[in-house]
Amino acid sequence: MSQPLSELAQLVGAAVDGDGSVRVSHVATLESAGPGSIAFLARAKYRKQLATTGAAAVILAPAMAAETPLPKLVSKNPYATYAKVATILHPAQIAEPGCHPTALVDPGARVAPSASVGPRAIVGSGTIVGERARIGAGSIVGAGVAIGDDVLLHANVTIYDRTVIGPRTIVHSGAVIGADGFGMAEEAGRWIKIPQIGRVVIGADVEIGANTTIDRGAIEDTVIESDVKLDNLVQIGHNCQIGAHTAIAGCVGIAGSTRIGRNCLIGGAAMINGHIEICDGVVIDGAAMVRRSIGAPGEYAGLDPALPGKQWRRIVAIINHLPELEKRIHRLEAAAGTAPQDAAADRPEEAP
C-alpha cells in the first residue's frame, strides 16, 4: 500500500521538502530505485547517484537537501529514518493467533490467546507465552520458560528450560539459547562435567542472529541486557553479561564469565577471553584478540593483544616497512664498519 510523503513524515518525525502528495510504496537503493520507490542517502560517497536515481522521493540530511529537486524527507539521521520508513512500507506478516494442530503444547503451559504457535513447535510445561508472541515452525521451547509480549521466535529455534526472554525480542532460526556452558573439572586424567544450574535472562528489544548460541550460567545467570543486537554465529559463554545497546557482529566468540559494558561495538570474528571486563563505550575492531580487561572507552584493534586503535595502526605501519628498515640498517652498519661478518647467514630467508 502506497502512502503520501507528508503522512510518512509525520509518522517518522522528518520534515517534507517538496511535493508532499507524492506517494511511495516501497524502499530501494538510489541506484536501483524506480517509480513509486523511496531511496535514502546516508553517506556522501553516494551523492553522485542522486542525479541519476529513478526514485519518486529520497531521504537525506539537511546539508544535502539542496542537491536534488526530488521530493524528500529531511532528517538529521537519514539511515534511522529509512529504517522507520521501511518498517511502515514493508510490515512484517502477522501470524494468526492460536496453536497449529501439529504443535505440542504441554497442558501446564500458558499461551496468551493472541499468541501463535507454529507447525510442529513444542512448548514445555510451566512455560508462559506472552501476548502476540510468535513461535515459529519446529521451534522447541523448554519447561519453565518466560516469553514476553511480542517476542518472535523464527523457525527451528531452541530455547532451553527456565530461559527468560523479554518483550519484542527477535530470535532467528537455528539459535540455541540456554545450552550447557563449557564447564569441566579435571581429575586423574578425566573430565568431570560441572552441572550448569544458572539461566539465560534476555532483556527487551534484543535481536539474536541465526545459529547464535548463548550458554546458560554455571551458577549465576547469563544476562543479555535490553537493546543488545547479536549477529549470526555469535558464541556467548556461560555467566557472561552483555550491557544494554551493545552490538556484536558475526562470528564473535566470547568466553565464559566475561562482562561487556553498555554501548559497545564488537567487530566480526573478534575473540574475547574469559573472566575479563570491558567497560562501557568500547569499540573492538574485527578479528581483534582481547586477552585482558579494558577499562577505558575507545577503539581497540590488533591480534595479540588488542591495543588502542591508533597504537595498533602505527605498529602495523612499522611492520609493513620492516624489510626497508632492515636494508637501511645493514647499509648504515656497513658504512660504519660495524656490520657482523655473519649477518647474511643470520638473516631469515625471504618467502617465495
Residue 343 amino acid letter: A
Q: Measured between alpha carbons, how far is 2 from 24 in angstroms, rounded to an integer?
A: 5
What is the amino acid identity at position 33? A
- Residue 23's region, left for phi above 0, alpha for psi from -120 to 50, else beta, is beta
How many whole angstroms separate alpha carbon 26 and alpha carbon 139? Answer: 31
Task: Retrieve residue 37's grid coordinates.
Answer: 520507490
* Amino acid at the residue 340: P
> Amino acid identity, residue 23?
R
How far apart (Å, rounded) are the C-alpha atoms in residues 83 and 90? Answer: 10
Half-sphere exposure at residue 122, Cβ-oriented, CA atoms within 13 angstroms: 12
Catalytic residue, candidates 26, 90, 154, 238: 238
Catalytic site includes residue 154:
no
Q: Which residues pair with 179 in a beta bridge?
A: 215
d(CA 177, CA 158): 6
Q: What are phi and psi of 184, to 5 degrees?
A: -140, 145
Nearest in space to 68 (alpha carbons), one of 13, 16, 9, 18: 18
Catalytic residues: 238
